Amino acid sequence: MNQQLNEILKQVSKPGRYSGGEYGQVIKDKTNIKARFAFAFPDTYEIGMSNLGIRILYNCLNNEKDIWCERVYAPWIDMQEKMKEHNIPLWAHESKDSISEFDFLGFTLQYEMCYTTVLNMLDLANIPLRASDRGEEFPLVIGGGPCAYNPEPVADFFDLFNIGEGEEMLVEIVRLYIKMKDEGRYTKSEFLHEAARTIPGVYVPSLYTVEYNTDGTIKSYSPIYDDIPTKVTKRIITDMDKAPFPEKVVMPYTEVVHDRIMLEVFRGCIRGCRFCQAGIIYRPVREKSPDLLNEQAKCIFENTGYEEMSLSSLSISDYTWLPELTDKLLDWTNENMVSFSLPSLRVDSFTKELMDKVASVRSSSLTFAPEAGTQRLRDVINKNVQLDDLLRAVNVAFTAGKTQVKLYFMQGLPTETEEDLKGIPELAKTVIEAYYANPNRNKGRAPQVTFSVSCFIPKPFTPFQWEPQDSLEVLEQKQKFIGDCVTDKKIRYQHHDAKTCVIEAVLARGDRRLADAIEIAYRDGAKFDAWSEFFDYDMWMSAFERAGIDPAFYASRRWAYDEILPWDIIDCGVTKEFLIREAKKAHEEVTTPNCREHCSGCGANKLGGEKTCCPKKK
């Protein structure tokens, strides 16, 4: 196939997406391999190559001498056409072998709108879409990532799911497979039962039956065996200083989205934004020590030569040892002309000291996320930032010579009023006024404030998981209303596509009955739904109708607190009682302090003991 592929590469855009042979890729002798794992990212090469999780797990699996993990990405449309024309099945990046020859095919599910691309990749690999249609000769298909916390909409397409962090769990799964093969007792069904029974964090959908009430809500989840868990508890790495770390990374030959050193500083979040799924499912907070992080950053720099570094976390300014870490990094990054960025900065913890450190290297405009236009609504969502916090932060930036600020907001949040919507452009105008009131501003340039507004999507495992999403008509009316309130040319307004957000909400809160609709949408041509040029709202609505699905039942309905949720089969560590308390406090406009100020008893620390609780800020 290699020669044929080389000819095709001359006929498609961005052939570097498919050529392979990158510096840092892992090649192994197949005669010494007992299990082959294809790690799939259901989007293009340049997006998948930027994913830190795949880099880590690729390293974990390949550290095992008899396991070979390779990569696979979704081919772009022109390449898919050539593959069909020449009858070339989807292949793995390193060996160029067909995916159907592998023992495992693992998908990372980062975004609900990638589901049809998953089906597309299975189809391109000549693998049946439904797990029930795949015999012993086909790979075991695994799902993981944030969307696996509600795996039900795609449960029929996967053999099993990894719930939680996979560094240890993935290796355990493949090791069990090798053991059962060596002992001559492997069958797919026996393996799935054994994995569900013995490996914490493994969810096998086919081993659970679902019953529904007459009103369409879920009546019960029942395991078909007595020796598998009634709830699957997520896995975590308790000690991040001992977590696997890829000293070498695969270096792309073509431009990718995040072509830089990505330094994972800590996992989890001390905040409790009530709309934020990541802030819940990645709890508890676990930090790496600054000395270790500095050594890891040096290691990647020496092995890659990257001139940019990003400190990765949900809220980097909440890292306990951030001043010490940045000092250590600046000791060698300046002389080596390595710039580093501090993404996810909060306005209430942005300081002149941080600004000075960022200003000492190359950096771009600063981004903050007030999320809501009024203090009342910021209290509802538990953002725990004040207007004074934002003005202090932007003035630090303006004094340092910055003239561009980006602000992120959400519309359609629970209890939202017209005043809250008006407050969004008014807040952007307030930032412009703060610029002109700052005597130390860069007077040679005009300011620019860009604010982006996304639509609220109720996500599993959040205090807002029971809340309704606005209808499409209301979402679009609110978008127009906000735009009409912008009168200053120095303010730019951007918003997300409301139609995409509606479909995302359906998929986020869906159950197993959505599988038919997802497959119908794919058969009709849906794929790359995360790309605006391919997303087709009418196609999705047609698929829902033919599958007998009412989208409003999942997206626009207020769910009852005592209702069995599709994702109740999963234990993310945070209790439902805590989420209900937070949901009720939201409607009372009462905030909850962050975890360092006061433990609110969410339950997450039971996963790892006291050493995973939030350390006190110095």
Task: Report the 10 Å Cβ neighbour count for 303.
Answer: 16
What does the alpha-carbon distance between residue 6 and residue 520 come to, in Å, rounded to a whole number?
Answer: 34
In three state form, how does the secondary structure of 319-361 look? CCCHHHHHHHHHHHHCCCCCEEECCCCCHHHCCHHHHHHHHCC
The amino acid occupying position 268 is: G
The residues pairing with 161 across neighbouring beta strands, listed in sequence order, are 143, 203
What does the alpha-carbon distance between residue 240 and residue 286 come to, in Å, rounded to a whole number?
Answer: 6
Task: Report the 10 Å Cβ neighbour count for 523.
Answer: 13
State the pLDDT at residue 355.
Answer: 73
Task: Extract long-range pairs of 368-372: CB within 8 Å, 24+ residues apart.
Answer: 368/393, 368/394, 368/405, 368/406, 368/407, 368/408, 369/407, 369/408, 369/409, 370/407, 370/408, 370/409, 370/427, 371/273, 371/275, 371/408, 371/409, 371/410, 372/409, 372/410, 372/413, 372/420, 372/423, 372/424
The amino acid occupying position 70 is: E
State the pLDDT at residue 618.
Answer: 44
Let me know: does 126 contact 112? Beta carbons within 8 Å.
no
Sign for the CA dihedral angle at 182, 183, 187, 190 comes to negative
With a threshold of 0.75, does the pTM exceed it?
yes
Kind plus residue range of the DSSP H or E element containing 243 = none
Nearest residue to 428 (alpha-carbon basis) of 381, 366, 492, 477: 492
State the pLDDT at residue 587.
Answer: 98
| Cα 23-25-28 angle, rounded to 5 deg | 130
Let me know: does 358 contact 401? Beta carbons within 8 Å.
no
State the pLDDT at residue 358.
Answer: 63
What does the alpha-carbon distance between residue 440 and residue 324 come to, in Å, rounded to a whole number?
Answer: 28
- Residue 218's φ and ψ, nearest 5 degrees, are -80, 135
State the pLDDT at residue 407.
Answer: 94
Q: What 3-state DSSP class applies to 579?
A: helix
Nearest residue to 413 (alpha-carbon basis) of 371, 450, 370, 451: 371
Let me know: does 359 contact 340? Beta carbons within 8 Å.
no
In the 8-state DSSP scheme, what is residue 253? Answer: S
| CA R_g for the chain | 24
What does the alpha-carbon distance between residue 336 and residue 330 come to, in Å, rounded to a whole number?
Answer: 10
What does the alpha-carbon distance between residue 594 and residue 225 come to, in Å, rounded to a whole number?
Answer: 41
State the pLDDT at residue 254.
Answer: 85
Kind plus residue range of the DSSP H or E element containing 37 = strand 35-41
Let me know: does 144 contact 555? Beta carbons within 8 Å.
no
What does the alpha-carbon distance between residue 66 and residue 106 come to, in Å, rounded to a whole number?
Answer: 18
In three state form, how does the secondary structure of 269-318 look? CCCCCCCCCHHHHCCCCEECCHHHHHHHHHHHHHHHCCCEEEEECCCHHH
What does the alpha-carbon distance between residue 255 and residue 253 come to, in Å, rounded to a whole number?
Answer: 7
Flag residues of the chain having pLDDT under 50.
360-362, 364, 617-618
What does the alpha-carbon distance between residue 220 and residue 212 come to, in Å, rounded to a whole number?
Answer: 7
